[in-house]
Amino acid sequence: NAGVTQTPKFQVLKTGQSMTLQCAQDMNHNSMYWYRQDPGMGLRLIYYSASEGTTDKGEVPNGYNVSRLNKREFSLRLESAAPSQTSVYFCASSPGGFREKLFFGSGTQLSVL
Amino acid sequence: GNSVTQMEGPVTLSEEAFLTINCTYTATGYPSLFWYVQYPGEGLQLLLKATKADDKGSNKGFEATYRKETTSFHLEKGSVQVSDSAVYFCALFLIYNQGGKLIFGQGTELSVKP
């Protein structure tokens, strides 16, 4: 019953460093999402992938890139981290189509110093 | 644009008190509406949903009714427990391409004291 698995759980970066957040789901879902959660702002969509081979920008895509490696995996990359990217990042997946329930991972807490 | 607005928290209640968390939305078309809950240190979990006007979603004693005329989806529970302490997110779902995406409100923190 793994569901959605995110790695790492915690990460500290210096300004300008790069890193990739990994996400994998084992539920054969078509759609996958990356959100960031900031105090008082709820969850904001960074990027999403409606199906394998497609990616689209969400509300706050600047400073991020994504790769839908295959149906299971959807990674989020920070090329040059900035303090404004300090946040908690959540990956989620859903079956897609008209089925709307999202399944979330447990999050990655990222601090950029 | 499409958006969700929730009442600000934190909301602090005593055990067995009545809970209301307000949620209003702006959307084109007829979205589905959701409440998600986030317990400390965890990701979000779906609590309940409603897919059309006048539908009532319910789960674990929580209820919310899709009110198209007031564009609202307020969350209620008759008697809260300490274990209900969490952050609650209202969201609307939009269909896009082959999938969809959720737009979340800012979240409302609930703290229930014994």
pLDDT given at position B97: 61
Interface of chain B toward chain A, CB-CB under 8 angstroms? 6, 32, 34, 36, 41-46, 49, 89, 93, 95-107
pLDDT given at position B103: 86
Nearest CA to CA, how far is B109 from chain A (Å)? 10
What is the spatial distance between Cα A69 and Cα B23, in angstroms, rounded to a whole number?
Answer: 37
pLDDT given at position B28: 80
Smallest Cβ–Cβ distance between A104 and the set B43, B93, B107 belongs to B43
- Are the beta carbons of A110 and A104 closer than 8 angstroms? no
Q: How many CA atoms lie within 13 A of B15 on its CB side?
A: 5
- Are the beta carbons of A59 and A73 closer than 8 angstroms? no
pLDDT given at position B98: 59
Extract the residue ranges of chain A whose pLDDT is less than 70: 1, 97-100
Q: Strand (E) positions, A17-83?
A: 19-25, 31-38, 42-49, 56-57, 64-68, 74-78
Could you tell me which chain A residue has the CA closest to the CA of B89? A42
pLDDT given at position A79: 93
Q: Determine, for residues B98 and A31 on separate chains, whether the beta-carbon distance falls below 8 Å.
A: yes
Q: Determine, for residues B98 and A51 on separate chains, whether the beta-carbon distance falls below 8 Å.
A: yes
Helix (H, G, I), strand (E, B) or coil at A41: coil
Tokens of A73: 């995996």
What is the spatial distance between Cα A24 and Cα A74, in angstroms, rounded to a whole number?
Answer: 6
Taking one residue from A and the other from B, the number of pairs with CB-CB distance under 8 angstroms is 73
Helix (H, G, I), strand (E, B) or coil at B76: strand
What is the spatial distance between Cα A93 and Cα A28, in angstroms, rounded to a whole number?
Answer: 9
Q: How far is CA A70 from the centre of its chain?
A: 15
Question: b vs e for A26-36, b when ≥16 Cβ sit within 10 Å of the residue's Cβ?
Answer: eeebbbbbbbb
What does each of the 114 residues of chain B score in pLDDT, given as a tens digit? Answer: 788 999 888 999 999 999 999 999 998 878 899 999 999 888 889 999 999 999 999 999 999 999 999 999 999 999 999 999 999 999 998 776 656 678 899 999 999 999
Identify the DSSP state of B84: G
Q: Determine, for residues A102 and B99 on separate chains, whether the beta-carbon distance falls below 8 Å.
A: no
pLDDT given at position B100: 64
